[in-house]
Structure 1
Amino acid sequence: MLQVEIRQETLTVRFAPWARLFTRAGAVSVPLRAIAEVHLLDRPLGAATGTHYGLLVSGVIKAGTWTSLTGVKRLVAARREDSGLRIVLKSRVRGHDELILSVPGAEQLQRRLIAVMA
């Protein structure tokens, strides 16, 4: 569903062609200095709540933008099978406050992000 890479002080998330319809982007790049926190999620689907634009197959997949009742906008690409990350941003990047991503090797990616943020 997505590919994540860290290169030249930037986190880049590239979405699969079908997911681009719901995320409204082929890729999102976030400067590492814009990341405030990175949390490991066992169940990333549950982290995306509120109103949404995108794909929702209950309990299976979420892809798109979820807006909480408090106004926090989350770019979401999450599946039931994978653990994931909640990446909290210091300020909005491309209209989003957080990224909720299902990624293979989420724990390793979290460690890499924390190491390069330090």
Structure 2
Amino acid sequence: MMRIEIHQETLTVRFPSWTRLFTRAGAVTVPLAMISEVHLLDRPLAAATGTHYGLLVSGVVKIGTWTSLTGVRRLVAARREVSGLRIVLKDRVSNHDELILSVPDAERLQRRLIAVTA
């Protein structure tokens, strides 16, 4: 399971070793100042559309980079029956415009991110 850490100025997402092949990174660090929006997602799997590089088990899990037809690049780590967050960035960070993450306590994390980025 991935770990999400919020420090003074950054949000860091650390991926398990088996997912690194699909995310192309062990961790992604985003400056909190680069976060423009944080949305709660009931179905994070549905939010990742377009062409992709990564793991796709239809209806079960998506891990990797999804690029929409409009060119929005999303780093995705989503799985079935786990709510999630869409974190929209002001500019590309680590070659991504958004993060879509399944997290067990998405509402609490959303409130915390909104509080630290306000």
Shorter-chain TM-score: what band? over 0.9
Residue 13 of structure 1: how far off its partner (Å): 0.2
Give the whole-Å Cα distance in 1 for the aligned partners of 2:16 and 2:78.
12
Q: CA RMSD in A?
A: 0.5
Aligned length: 118
CA deviation vs aligned residue, 1:1-34 (integer Å, no higher than 9, x gap): 3110101210000001111110000000000000
User: In the alignment, which residue of structure 1 is the partner of 2:9?
Assistant: 9
Give the whole-Å Cα distance in 2 for the aligned partners of 1:104 and 1:31.
23
CA deviation vs aligned residue, 1:50-91 (integer Å, no higher than 9, x gap): 000000000000000000000000000000021000000000
Normalised to the residue count of structure 1, the TM-score between the two structures is 0.99
Gaps of 5+ in 2: none
**Matching of residue 80 in structure 1 with residue 80 in structure 2:** yes
**Matching of residue 97 in structure 1 with residue 100 in structure 2:** no
How do 1:37-116 residues align onto structure 2 when only pairs under 5 Å count? 37-116=37-116
Give the whole-Å Cα distance in 1 for the aligned partners of 2:18 and 2:80.
17
Instruction: Show structure 1 runs of 4+ deviating over 6 A.
Output: none
Structure 2 SS opposite 1:81: coil
Normalised to the residue count of structure 2, the TM-score between the two structures is 0.99
Letter in 2 for 1:52: H
